[in-house]
Amino acid sequence: MTAHAAGAFRIWRLWSAWLLLASAFLGLAGCATDKGGSSPGAPRADIITDSDEPEGRKRARIRLELAVGYFEEGQTTIALDELKLALNADPNFGEAFNLRGLIYLRLNDVRLAEDSFKRAMVLTPNDANVLHNYGWLLCQQSRFSESVQMFARALANPLYGDRPKTLMAQGVCQIRAGQFADAEASLTRSYELDAANPITGYNLSNLLFQRGESVRAQFYIRRINNSELANAESLWLGIKVERRLNNTEGADQLATQLRKRFTQYPQAMFLVPGGLKSLKGRQAYGGLHL
């Protein structure tokens, strides 16, 4: 894996709490809203209200809402129990299979996660949220061409409201696949739609830095490091960018933050005002070279 591929996934995990919150509610937040599941050009159905749902679906939805709450709190086993009750009440509840896939993905059971997403796609074939989740699973399994196909299907739905997140995920997968020009296009478009997302900003900055476009990389990483979302990885990337641009003062300011706020971060121990301590050889921590 290349340095920028490793950096992309590492920052994804560091901001995983934010990402998990976004993923947990994919298609699960509301029962009376359109979730992007209708085909373009198809006649729009009336909004589903409580009186339209059969009793089995109502019971299943209550259990699903409980499962989402437990899932969000990290109580995965209890969430799975609630989900089983939801599917007992309504075996054809596509949203429940979507959450089932997320739960098994968290439990690192890829086979059951993939089975869940596939069953959700059979029940709700045009649900962009399910397509996004399945695309991300495929990406984690290095099935990049299949992954991009799922993301493309999700993005093709004009009713889909989470396009920035899917573009971000697509860009990260394209980095892993070595498709750097495509990755830049995906991440740039995601950033245009949601400039506040630190995962997008970091990955775009890191990609540009690795490609030698330090001025552009500086723009994106500075926005993160000047906010409350700065973390050890973003500060370290900022230091490298400023040093490449010969901005010693800016690099030292970021290094001071890194040493004070993240004392256990591997690179922090090598930082001294004005540069790095002398090192034997070229050392790397998790793909980022000193």
- Higher-pLDDT residue of 52, 65: 65
Determine whether 238 is exposed, middle or buried from the number of CB atoms within 10 Å of its CB (0-12, 13-18, 19+): buried
86/72 Cα distance (integer angstroms): 17
pLDDT bucket at 47, cuts 50 / 70 / 90 = low
Mean pLDDT over 95-113 rounds to: 95
pLDDT computed for residue 128 by the predictor: 96
pLDDT computed for residue 83 by the predictor: 95
The shares of helix, strand and coil residues in the chain, as percent rounded to the nearest 5, are 65, 5, 30
Owner of token pair 């998790």 = 286
pLDDT bucket at 49, cuts 50 / 70 / 90 = low
Average pLDDT along the chain: 82
pLDDT in tens, 29-43: 333 334 454 444 545
Q: Concatenated DSSP letters for 184-212?
A: HHHHHHHHHH-TT-HHHHHHHHHHHHHTT
Q: At what angle do helices 94-106 and 110-123 cross, to 10 degrees?
A: 160
pLDDT in tens, 109-142: 999 999 999 999 999 999 999 999 999 999 999 9
pLDDT computed for residue 279 by the predictor: 34
pLDDT computed for residue 183 by the predictor: 97
Determine whether 85 is exposed, middle or buried from the number of CB atoms within 10 Å of its CB (0-12, 13-18, 19+): middle
Helix or strand (DSSP H, E) at 126: none
Amino acid found at 136: W
Lowest mean pLDDT among 179-183, 189-193, 256-260: 256-260
pLDDT in tens, 226-280: 999 999 999 999 999 999 999 999 999 999 999 888 887 776 655 655 555 433 3
- Which candidate, 208, 280, 269, places its Cα nearest to that of 240? 208
pLDDT in tens, 66-80: 999 999 999 999 999
